[in-house]
């Protein structure tokens, strides 16, 4: 069994701006993500961490996948389809590891923190 620290981790921001509907941002479906992670047994292959502020608040609803030494950042997640794609991405990572394909709907949401 892989140690939990060695597993890839999906960090989903639900902090000061992300998910705050009163600030005009889409809600982060925290309970749905947690439920799906358990139901699909994703928690055995990829950690889910609901995080406080990850920074990059101008891109509200930020998620970052840490897989080995690589971090992949996405922001401006605003629909149920985006979060379904995050789940699909996690399933791909669970199967294919670092070579996992990101769903096409998420590609336009990629950003590099160094460019911010």
* Residue-range definition of the domain harbouring residue 71: 4-115
10-51 pLDDT per residue, tens: 999 999 899 999 999 999 999 999 999 999 999 999 999 999
- Rounded CA gap, 60 and 63, in Å? 9
pLDDT: is 57 or 2 the higher one?
A: 57
- Rounded CA gap, 77 and 27, in Å? 9
- What was the pLDDT predicted at 5? 61
Answer for the pair 68, 98: CB distance below 8 angstroms, yes or no. Answer: yes
- Rounded CA gap, 14 and 61, in Å? 7
CATH code for the domain in which residue 8 is found: 3.40.30
Answer for the pair 52, 3: CB distance below 8 angstroms, yes or no. Answer: no
Residue among 113, 114, 61, 64 nearest 93 (CA)? 64
To the nearest whole percent, how much of the chain has pLDDT over 90? 83
- The total domain count for the chain is 1
């Amino acid at each position: 069994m892989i140690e939990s620290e060695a597993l890839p981790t999906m960090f989903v921001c639900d902090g000061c701006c992300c998910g705050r509907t009163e600030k005009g941002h889409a809600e982060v479906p925290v309970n749905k993500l947690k439920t799906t992670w358990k139901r699909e047994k994703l928690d055995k292959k990829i950690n889910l961490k609901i995080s406080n502020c990850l920074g990059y608040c101008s891109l509200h609803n930020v998620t970052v996948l840490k897989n080995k030494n690589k971090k992949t950042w996405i922001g401006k997640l605003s629909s149920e389809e985006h979060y379904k794609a995050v789940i699909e991405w996690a399933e791909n990572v669970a199967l294919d590891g670092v070579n996992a394909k990101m769903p096409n709907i998420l590609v336009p949401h990629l950003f590099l923190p160094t460019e911010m």
